[in-house]
A and B are shown apart, each in its own frame.
Chain A
Amino acid sequence: MSTPLLELKNVTKIFGTKKEYTVALEDMTFAIQENFPKIVTIAGESGSGKTTMGMLMLGFYSPTFGSVLYRGQPLAELDRDTRFKYRREIQAVFQDPFAVYNPFYKVDNLLSIPIKNFKLARSKSEAHELMEEALERVGLRPEETLGRYPHQLSGGQRQRIAVARALLLKPKLLITDEPVSMVDASLRSTILKALRGLNRDFGVPLFYITHDLTTAYHISDFIIILYHGSVMEVGNVDTIIRNPQHPYTKLLVSSIPWPNPDLPWGGTEDMIQKSQVAFKKITGCKFAPRCPYRFDLCETKAPDLFMIEQDRAASCYLYRDNEVLKREELSRVFVEA
């Protein structure tokens, strides 16, 4: 197997002081190959560590333990040229389409600065052409967007320009953190379409970080469900959303408000009400305090990931008779159903 494009190796991220701390991500191992043109969702509640994982991959946080490797080299040790290449190849789209713009500059800036920094164009007209091309790719009319200020555009338009910017750099990996959560429901589909088009047409692997399982189901191929920094269930998104196996995934999926009055919320009262639990003392499975299926073993030792089917695994003792999925082979379950 070739060297992965980006790799998390036993990454743990802890915030806080020695006395009072939060483990945001615990012992995460995961690799993304360059030629893996799929969409992977990282999902979980607030505080599950999903954004932390994205920030670590983008090099905005450094891991407390373990390392993040770009083409086999730890991020902290990249030389200038490799770092430059890393910055170009790994791109991001963030949550807030208002915060990424400087209100004093025209939106052109967001596109022209990367062209300048990465020397993508030899002349001004070439730069302009690139910008127009990128905007058209995400379904925007250049004449209606270029030359405007951020406040003159809608949230959906601004978010699509952010996607266009990422596209401009022909990235090898795109990390998007809640790209549609601040956009009106009716505009979500256009942004998701733009993202999926980018993924399909250019073969760019895409990480979709979200708490919204509805859009995750529609856009992605695979899913990683996190709960308090640990992987609960991982595998094919169709199989997992349609037939969740881990008790936590069951809770999440049953809480999706499907737009169908005949398909009401399901699930047990017990799990739903017990959300406020202290996490410090938990040695076993993190979900055990809320889990209706828990037994002694759950409270003593955290479970491994057990294979359920060939395309998914869950970290739950209910499946302890099955084969163990090694953490470093997490992507083994990323196979089409």
Chain B
Amino acid sequence: MSTDGFDIDRPWQVDPRVSMRPEPFGALLYHFGTRRLSFLKNQRVLAVVRSLADHPSARAACAAAGVSEAELPAYVRALATLADSHMISERTVA
């Protein structure tokens, strides 16, 4: 899985054209631009994704959600997948 194009130290957000629906297992995401469906497989990754826009970096969002250093690589892969499918996009900080 490629993590190109995803920098954990940059600010991220759920893409404005994505609709996110909480589910018992995590969440479903639908992108109106690409018309693709994706999903989040647990509550923790949902917490991270939801709070991306509130943190100066994706790393900070992970830390705030209680993701440990050991767990971090799995979350980087997950976020990179979401970035790759345009479900999350880099935020431009004014």
A in complex with B: no
